[in-house]
């Protein structure tokens, strides 16, 4: 549905997007991640025809965004981070206006407005002026305007900013539901949101793509070691010594007593090897009073920090 080939975008002499290439298939929900100033919003503005590329080619459903911008816009629902709203209108009036601007046939505008009010849980606010809405309800209204013309593609920039935890869960569920029928690009700084919603992530930093793939594959690719925690009923220094001598163990650190009364050690293995079975057997054979044994893999947050920090440092050298 979306094909980006060697896209670059300059602001004066500053290169905000640097020769990036990626594609998004129909029905995918893609998380588009990066620190502030990485080029996420600029890329989305080019895809949605709000901004022309400096070089490269972007197509949406085989339509060039420069040559066929009006046709492309009909296929896209765009929710910018700070969507402009007509604050003097009430919710229903605003949605009808957007439906008209989006080319929804006159006889269907009322129906579409009602559907969006139901989908985005705006029922209690239908007669309120947009200017009197809370931040959370404004976000819901922004999502409703992006959906009102039933687009094939959704571009969502920070869709859950300002929402309370319950509202965030509702919007996440809605995005998942929409992803069954539509292609979605979701930009956010909330990594847990990406993990729970998106089947694939793209990480951009300083205008360049530094990772692209399934979350679990990207995390696994950066997990050169595996951390295993063992918790005992009593201090067991002999376990520390014995485990430290295993060939596939990189290090062992005694954490000591933790909440709940157990005594913990943290084991780092080489080459992402899972030693839980061997460690459990050692504990049984040596009659160590084992309370808990679990493996900790690298998180998306840790991988994100590694990728963005490494590339930031390399650009300074």
- Write out pLDDT tens, residues 56-66: 999 999 999 99
Question: What sign for the dihedral angle of Cα 216, 33, 55, 81?
Answer: positive
Domain locations in the chain?
Answer: 2-220, 224-296
Q: What is the pLDDT of residues 235-253, one digit of tens each?
A: 999 999 999 999 889 889 9
- Give the separation between CA 73 and CA 261, rounded to whole angstroms: 60
pLDDT of res. 32: 94
pLDDT of res. 56: 96
- Give the separation between CA 217 and CA 144, rounded to whole angstroms: 33
Residue 193: pLDDT band by 50, 70, 90 thresholds?
confident
Contacts 24+ apart (CB under 8 A), 134-141: 135/161, 135/162, 135/163, 136/162, 136/163, 136/164, 136/167, 138/83, 138/85, 138/162, 139/163, 139/167, 139/171, 140/167, 140/171, 141/85, 141/91, 141/94, 141/95
Query: CB-based burial of residue 216 (10 Å sphere; 0-12 exposed, 13-18 middle, 19+ buried)?
Result: exposed
3-state helix, strand, coil in the chain (%, to 5): 40, 30, 30
Total count of residues recorded for the chain: 317
Q: What does DSSP assign to residue 292?
A: E
- Who's near 270: CB < 8 A, 6+ residues apart? 225, 248, 249, 250
Domains 2-220 and 224-296 agree in fold = no
- Give the separation between CA 135 and CA 94, rounded to whole angstroms: 16
* Alpha carbon 235 to its chain's center: 42
CATH architecture assigned to 224-296:
2-Layer Sandwich (3.30)
Superfamily of domain 2-220: P-loop containing nucleotide triphosphate hydrolases (3.40.50.300)
pTM: 0.76
Are 264 and 256 spatial neighbours (Cβ–Cβ below 8 Å)? yes
Residue 227 has pLDDT above 90, yes or no: no
């Amino acid at each position: 549905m979306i094909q980006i080939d060697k896209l670059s975008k300059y602001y004066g002499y500053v290169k905000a997007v640097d020769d990036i290439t990626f594609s998004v298939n129909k029905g995918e929900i893609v998380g588009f991640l990066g620190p502030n100033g990485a080029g996420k919003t600029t890329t989305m503005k080019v895809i949605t025809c709000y901004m022309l590329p400096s070089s490269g080619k972007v197509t949406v459903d085989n339509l060039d965004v420069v040559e066929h911008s009006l046709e492309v816009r009909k296929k896209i629902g765009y929710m910018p981070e700070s969507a402009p709203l007509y604050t003097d209108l009430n919710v229903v009036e605003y949605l009808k206006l957007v439906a008209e601007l989006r080319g929804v046939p006159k006889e269907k505008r009322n129906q579409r407005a009602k559907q969006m009010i139901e989908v985005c849980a705006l029922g209690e606010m239908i007669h309120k002026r947009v200017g009197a809405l809370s931040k959370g309800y404004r976000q819901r209204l922004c999502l409703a305007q992006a959906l009102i013309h039933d687009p094939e593609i959704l571009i969502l920039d920070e869709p859950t900013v300002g929402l309370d935890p319950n509202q965030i869960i509702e919007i996440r569920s809605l995005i998942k539901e929409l992803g069954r029928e539509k292609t979605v690009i979701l930009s956010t700084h909330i990594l847990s949101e990406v993990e729970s919603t998106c089947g694939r992530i793209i990480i951009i930093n300083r205008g360049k793509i530094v990772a692209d793939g399934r979350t679990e594959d990207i995390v696994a690719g950066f997990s050169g070691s595996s951390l295993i925690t063992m918790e005992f009923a009593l201090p067991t220094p002999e376990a520390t010594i014995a485990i430290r001598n295993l060939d596939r163990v990189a290090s062992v650190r005694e954490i000591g007593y933790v909440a709940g009364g157990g005594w913990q050690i943290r084991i780092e293995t080489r080459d992402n090897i899972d030693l839980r079975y061997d460690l459990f057997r050692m504990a049984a054979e040596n009659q160590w009073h084992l309370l808990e044994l679990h493996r900790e893999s690298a998180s998306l947050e840790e991988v994100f920090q590694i990728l963005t920090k490494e590339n930031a440092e390399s650009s300074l050298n």
